[in-house]
Amino acid sequence: MMVYRKGELSKSLIDRGWPHQVALLSRLCMGENFMTHRFFCRDLSLCDRGHGFVRDGHDFSVFCFAEREHAEMFQQRFGGELMCPKTRPKWPAG
Protein backbone atom coordinates (compact mmCIF):
# COMPACT_ATOMS: atom_id res chain seq x y z
CA MET A 1 0.00 0.00 0.00
CA MET A 2 1.38 3.41 -1.00
CA VAL A 3 0.78 6.29 1.40
CA TYR A 4 1.06 9.88 0.21
CA ARG A 5 1.40 12.98 2.30
CA LYS A 6 -1.33 15.56 1.87
CA GLY A 7 -0.65 17.67 -1.20
CA GLU A 8 2.16 15.42 -2.49
CA LEU A 9 2.10 14.68 -6.21
CA SER A 10 1.57 11.05 -7.13
CA LYS A 11 3.92 9.34 -9.58
CA SER A 12 1.19 9.20 -12.22
CA LEU A 13 0.48 12.95 -11.87
CA ILE A 14 4.19 13.68 -12.26
CA ASP A 15 4.33 11.53 -15.39
CA ARG A 16 1.33 13.32 -16.92
CA GLY A 17 2.45 16.85 -16.07
CA TRP A 18 6.21 16.42 -16.51
CA PRO A 19 6.63 13.68 -19.16
CA HIS A 20 10.10 14.71 -20.40
CA GLN A 21 12.56 13.02 -18.09
CA VAL A 22 16.32 12.66 -17.64
CA ALA A 23 17.90 9.89 -15.58
CA LEU A 24 21.26 10.47 -13.89
CA LEU A 25 23.24 8.16 -11.64
CA SER A 26 22.13 9.08 -8.13
CA ARG A 27 25.71 9.44 -6.92
CA LEU A 28 26.05 12.37 -9.36
CA CYS A 29 23.09 14.16 -7.74
CA MET A 30 24.39 14.55 -4.21
CA GLY A 31 26.32 17.19 -2.32
CA GLU A 32 27.39 20.19 -4.39
CA ASN A 33 25.84 18.63 -7.48
CA PHE A 34 22.38 18.78 -5.90
CA MET A 35 22.60 22.56 -5.59
CA THR A 36 24.20 22.89 -9.05
CA HIS A 37 21.27 21.00 -10.62
CA ARG A 38 18.69 23.07 -8.73
CA PHE A 39 20.36 26.35 -9.61
CA PHE A 40 20.56 25.38 -13.30
CA CYS A 41 16.84 24.48 -13.26
CA ARG A 42 15.63 27.61 -11.46
CA ASP A 43 13.91 28.96 -14.62
CA LEU A 44 13.08 25.58 -16.17
CA SER A 45 9.92 23.48 -15.90
CA LEU A 46 11.43 21.00 -13.39
CA CYS A 47 8.98 19.22 -11.09
CA ASP A 48 9.79 19.52 -7.37
CA ARG A 49 9.48 15.75 -7.08
CA GLY A 50 11.08 13.15 -9.35
CA HIS A 51 11.42 9.42 -9.68
CA GLY A 52 14.10 6.85 -9.04
CA PHE A 53 14.94 3.37 -10.24
CA VAL A 54 17.66 0.74 -10.09
CA ARG A 55 19.29 -0.70 -13.21
CA ASP A 56 22.24 -3.10 -13.25
CA GLY A 57 22.84 -2.49 -9.56
CA HIS A 58 23.03 1.30 -9.92
CA ASP A 59 20.57 3.81 -8.45
CA PHE A 60 19.27 6.51 -10.79
CA SER A 61 17.50 9.79 -10.02
CA VAL A 62 14.99 11.02 -12.58
CA PHE A 63 14.50 14.73 -13.21
CA CYS A 64 11.06 15.46 -14.70
CA PHE A 65 10.30 18.44 -16.95
CA ALA A 66 7.07 19.76 -18.43
CA GLU A 67 8.86 21.02 -21.56
CA ARG A 68 11.00 18.77 -23.75
CA GLU A 69 13.39 21.63 -24.54
CA HIS A 70 14.16 21.99 -20.83
CA ALA A 71 14.87 18.26 -20.45
CA GLU A 72 17.19 18.43 -23.45
CA MET A 73 19.02 21.45 -22.00
CA PHE A 74 19.49 19.62 -18.70
CA GLN A 75 20.70 16.46 -20.46
CA GLN A 76 23.15 18.41 -22.60
CA ARG A 77 24.60 20.10 -19.51
CA PHE A 78 24.74 17.15 -17.11
CA GLY A 79 24.53 14.05 -19.30
CA GLY A 80 22.23 11.24 -18.39
CA GLU A 81 19.57 9.52 -20.41
CA LEU A 82 16.46 11.12 -21.89
CA MET A 83 13.41 8.95 -21.32
CA CYS A 84 9.65 9.05 -21.10
CA PRO A 85 7.39 7.50 -18.46
CA LYS A 86 6.56 4.49 -20.67
CA THR A 87 10.22 3.53 -21.16
CA ARG A 88 11.47 4.43 -17.66
CA PRO A 89 12.25 1.38 -15.52
CA LYS A 90 10.11 1.06 -12.42
CA TRP A 91 11.44 0.91 -8.87
CA PRO A 92 11.27 -2.73 -7.79
CA ALA A 93 8.35 -3.58 -5.56
CA GLY A 94 8.94 -5.04 -2.17
**How confident is residue 9, by pLDDT bands cut at 50, 70 and 90?**
confident
For residue 94, is pLDDT > 50? no
Q: What are the pLDDT digits (tens) for 15-24?
A: 999 999 999 9
CA distance 56 to 87: 16
The domain limits of the chain are 18-83
Q: What are the pLDDT digits (tens) for 33-89?
A: 999 999 999 999 999 988 889 988 999 999 999 999 999 999 999 999 999 888 887
pTM here is 0.86
The residues near 60 (Cβ < 8 Å, ≥ 6 apart) are 23, 24, 25, 26, 52, 53, 54
